[in-house]
Amino acid sequence: MTRWRYAAATDTGVVRETNQDAVFADDILALVADGMGGHAAGEVAAAITIELVRDEFHKRPTVEGLYMAIEAANRAILANAGEHSEHFGMGTTAIAVGLTQDNDGVVSPTLFNVGDSRAYQVRDGALRLLSEDHSVAEEWVRMGRLTPEEAKVHPRRHQLTRALGIEEALEIDVISLNALPGDRILLCSDGLSNELSNEELARMASSPTPLKESVDQLVAAANHAGGRDNISVILLEFDEVSVATTEIKRTVSTRPPPVVHSTRAVPARRSARPRRLTWRVWASVMMLAIVVIGAVYVVKWYAYSTYYIGNDAGVIAVYQGQPNGVLWFKPKKVFDTDYPSSQLLPSDERALSSTISAPTLNFALKYATHIRNLWRVHQHELKVASTTTTTLAGSSTTTTVKKAAG
């Protein structure tokens, strides 16, 4: 039989405006979820995880039950993000200790971990880290590429390699806990472990005060140290504890282990979301289509924003558009005047041959009539001048005749 007492707290911290962490603790389950994602999506991911894991584990309080519960939460987060575009990219860590019953009826504590929230065992004032951080920097420490000291300041120390809400395949660390009565387990989000040293964590987590006071003291200390992230803390203290008949320490995965082909950096899964890019692709295509259609309309407006007078097979005509066209928008004839283009003054005829621009249709029509009238006036003047010359010539003849007669 295993029994524990518990206390839990979560706090927004000093810097963040919202709390995307969530915690849950009762007689058989303790769970911390550190949500991530903009527009409060991290809160949604954390809340989904708490609710589903709590409900599913209570129905089936076994190792398999808790594993299935975390998997169900992962699928639910993916489904929610698929349905709500504003939740795209949300995810969460999950670290849980459940009192799991095995086939022999033994109830013992089992730790489950995905992400960089942490579990520590506290015994006799000493602290031991039980979980592994699934972050790029910490993976590199385990591979020997970084020292623990380098990892603490490495720019990729917050970049997760595992989290709920990234993809359907999920790897979960599952570890049977060996505890003694009086041992404490500290579960926390990185808002606590990043702000306090191991010595501070050990001192406060093991102080012989009631659990709730220790929890509040840890939260206050993290806030005092800067409170740069949301802070979540759960303290468990075992009154009685059994050891599982079969100890477990493994990473359970829904897919085969990845094959490493090169020494390239582990991709950050927070940003690698190839399976759920569909709505982004559609949004990009729609935006592009809107821009293209808008550009076509602007070009068309410009192409047909003006008029000109030109020669259409010997007749003066009015066209709408630019004389040489713009792209595929060619000028179109909008009016035939029936005025022969040969019946113009030479200067207007020359101007017509290279087109005469006009700002409006009305202006174009008036101008065409105007140059036609100029030609008519000119013709009239020529006719008058010709008649006068003929008359004068006739008078002169008469005079001559008269003179000849005289």
Q: Which two tokens stand for residue 379?
A: 């013709």
CB 131, min distance to Mg ion, A: 14
Q: How many helices (H) and strands (E) are present in the chain, helices listed first? A: 10, 16
CB 227, min distance to Mg ion, A: 11
Q: Which stretch binds Mg ion (CB under 5 A): 27-35, 63-71, 128-136, 308-316?
A: 27-35
* C-beta closer to Mg ion: residue 34 or 133: 34
**Positions 198 through 217 that interact with Mg ion (CB under 5 A):** none
* C-beta closer to Mg ion: residue 195 or 237: 195
* C-beta closer to Mg ion: residue 56 or 190: 190
CB 45, min distance to Mg ion, A: 12
Asked if 229 is part of the footprint of Mg ion (rule: CB under 5 A), the reply reads yes
* C-beta closer to Mg ion: residue 40 or 374: 40
Bridge partners of 9, per DSSP, are 233
From the list 34, 71, 132, 348, which residue makes contact with Mg ion (rule: CB under 5 A)? 34
CB 248, min distance to Mg ion, A: 27
Q: How many angstroms separate the CA atoms of 230 and 40, rounded?
A: 13
CB 116, min distance to Mg ion, A: 8
CA angle 224, 229, 235 (to 5 degrees): 75
The answer to whether residues 214 and 235 touch, using CB atoms and an 8 Å cutoff, is: yes
Three-class secondary structure of residue 143 per DSSP = helix
Beginning with the edge strand found earlier in the chain, give each strand of the sheet holding 3-11 in spatial order: 3-11, 231-240, 184-188, 118-123, 126-129
Bridge partners of 319, per DSSP, are 308, 333
Q: Which two tokens stand for residue 378?
A: 């000119």
* C-beta closer to Mg ion: residue 11 or 34: 34
From the list 138, 173, 190, 348, which residue makes contact with Mg ion (rule: CB under 5 A)? 190
The answer to whether residues 13 and 230 touch, using CB atoms and an 8 Å cutoff, is: yes
What is the x/- site pattern for Mg ion, positions 149-168, by CB under 5 A?
--------------------
First to last CA, the chain: 163
* C-beta closer to Mg ion: residue 173 or 229: 229
Three-class secondary structure of residue 238 per DSSP = strand
Contact residues: Mg ion, CB under 5 A: 34, 189-191, 229
